[in-house]
Amino acid sequence: MALLQTVRDPARLRELTAGELRDLAGEVRAFLIERVSAAGGHLGPNLGVVELTIALHTVFESPRDRLLWDTGHQSYVHKILTGRQAGFDRLRRSGGVSGYPSREESEHDLVENSHASTALSYADGLARADAHLGRRDRATVAIIGDGAMTGGMAWEALNNIAGGPDRPLVIVLNDNQRSYAPTVGGLAEHLTGLRDGHGPGVFGQLGLGYLGPVDGHDISAVQDALREAVALDGPVVVHVITAKGKGYRHTETNDLDLGHAVKPMDPHTGQALKASPPSFTSVFGEKLVELAERRDDLVAITAAMTEPTGLLPLQRRFPHRVIDVGIAEQHAVTMAAGLSMGGVHPVVAIYSTFVNRALDQLLMDVALHRRPVTFVLDRSGVTGDDGPSHNGMWDLSVLQVVPGLRIAAPRDGARLAELLTEAVAWDEGPTLLRWPKGPAGDDLPAIATFNGIDVLRRSGSMDVLIVAVGALAGLALTVAEGVRVQGIGVTVVDPRWVTPVNPALADMARRHRLAITVEDNSRAGGVGSAIAQTLRDADVHTPLREFGIPRRFLSHGSRAEVLAACGLTAQDITRAVAELLTGLDTAEPGIDDLGTWPVRTGEER
């Protein structure tokens, strides 16, 4: 990689000949395969933009010229060419480069663009600001994948770019016919027509300049098109055709996702370095098929994420009962309301971080109409290596305000299956399940139930009540053992349905000297906050301490690293519990015998 080793900033690229740039592209591709295979990450999208990125950095002078990546997972090559090669040794890990543009990493990253369909709006604002200030010495360039063009926000931006005053703005449409999976809908068909040479189509009709289609793997051709776009001195779409996963046989032949996001793997075989244990997502996928086989009215909806959200098994079993709307979460949710009104029970599968986009639709179109729609949120809580924008740390805070929405947080795979069954059977309004990225782990059976609340552990006197939320139940049990060996009595419970708060939690808290909640959601407005309000309303004076995620954006790293940085470790919580109890006056003894509580079997819950 002799040439690549000389590239410390993009200016170096402008010193290379056309032949050297082609050689550099090969070195960059080899570098990507080596480093992403070791760490895991978005391999296929970046293999597809090697030549395009080189061309961009030879025509434009970043950071003076602003390059905006939509979505940001296609920015690895941009990072390599802007002096961050060393950071790829710890890609997406603490101390290494993130998987998305990062303002903390480099002046070449203007926006941390990891959610799709936003770059055109950023670009419109930047171009308008330059026009307002009279600046004409720099370019604004938005690089947007065709998958991101399925998002409504992109078209809102195009409408304003085309309808506003004439100002320089280059829109590079990276057309590889895919987002995660193949691009769907009328736009995909329209772009196929453009690739076949049927004119500028909708872009020209909107009043935008249009250049292309251009072979995105021909550096010289892309350079020529970009220079022509700049010369037009107005908003121009440069339509570039690329191949996702190009140059690596294991991604080129992976029909499912063309190596969109890979786990650490052997670069020679393309096989994962270790087998993955069953995940929450896979448990969901299997259970949904089972339910769909019993209920003809179940239909699933995804926003361009069929396989990552666990819907691939259902799609294979019932192809016409999985609807992919593209990157259009708002449409997905309101369409689900319409399906429900028509007699269908929709299951809407979305990453937690993306459901934020559809809050208004969930609130006004689903909940206000009391529609029985089931939402399942993958990647809730701390996802870790995907960085601050992908942590699902806000769903409980945001969605607990929705009237009539029932929210469950399964602690293991068995509970996920149970709660999903209960959710799709509920016909009085919307339901929601949320779980984290990663393995479901061992099942954690309850030793008893109390008014629908699972009791996971009971030992000693009634000192501390630990309310475990979802996948942090295992952590709560470890904390329970840590305080038990210090002579502290402990009860660990899992509410299963966390919203609305089960009033039985107030009865349980009243019997203890201290109550704590443990959740992988923001402490601001999370389950702990809701339980604290319930205790106040019930006139329960037991002190409550919430353990959760602080109100700040979290840096990328492993899930364990990020949780530790938030104080969500057994050691931290155990120490805090002991200190809190030490500071309390001895409380009036509670009821020590669990047998006095009404206990029901699982079937009676």
Positions at the binding site for thiamine diphosphate: 73, 114-116, 147-148, 176, 248, 329
* Phi, psi angles (nearest 5°) of residue 323: -110, 120
Residues annotated within the binding site are: 73, 114-116, 146-148, 176, 248, 329
Helices assigned H by DSSP within 134-248 = 152-163, 186-195, 201-206, 219-232
Please enumerate, as own/partner, the contacts of 562-567 that have beta carbons within 8 Å and a separation of 24 or more: 562/382, 562/384, 562/391, 563/382, 563/520, 566/382
Q: How far apart are CA 521 and CA 483, in angstroms?
A: 23
Active site residue 357: yes
Residues annotated within the binding site for Mg(2+) are: 146, 176
The helix-helix angle for 219-232 and 18-39 (nearest 10°) equals 100
Helices assigned H by DSSP within 184-328 = 186-195, 201-206, 219-232, 249-252, 280-294, 312-317
Question: Going by DSSP bridges, is the β-strand pair 490-494/453-459 parallel, antiparallel, or unpaired?
Answer: antiparallel
Closest C-alpha to 415, from 394, 397, 389, 433: 433
Q: How far apart are CA 132 and CA 110, in angstroms?
A: 20
Please count the other Cβ atoms lying within 10 Å of the Cβ belonging to residue 233.
13
Catalytic residue among 79, 244, 457, 523, which? 244
Residue 548, H or E segment: strand 544-549
Please count the other Cβ atoms lying within 10 Å of the Cβ belonging to residue 402.
20
Catalytic residue among 93, 321, 357, 434, which? 357
Catalytic residue among 51, 105, 112, 329, which? 329
Instruction: List all residues 6 or more positions away from 509 whose beta carbon is below 8 Å from its beta carbon.
Output: 465, 515, 531, 535, 540, 542, 544
Active site residue 437: no
SS3 of 292-339: the string is HHHCCCEEEEECCCCCCCCCHHHHHHCHHHEEECCCCHHHHHHHHHHH
275 CA to centre of own chain: 23
Active site residue 329: yes
Which positions are catalytic?
Answer: 244, 329, 357
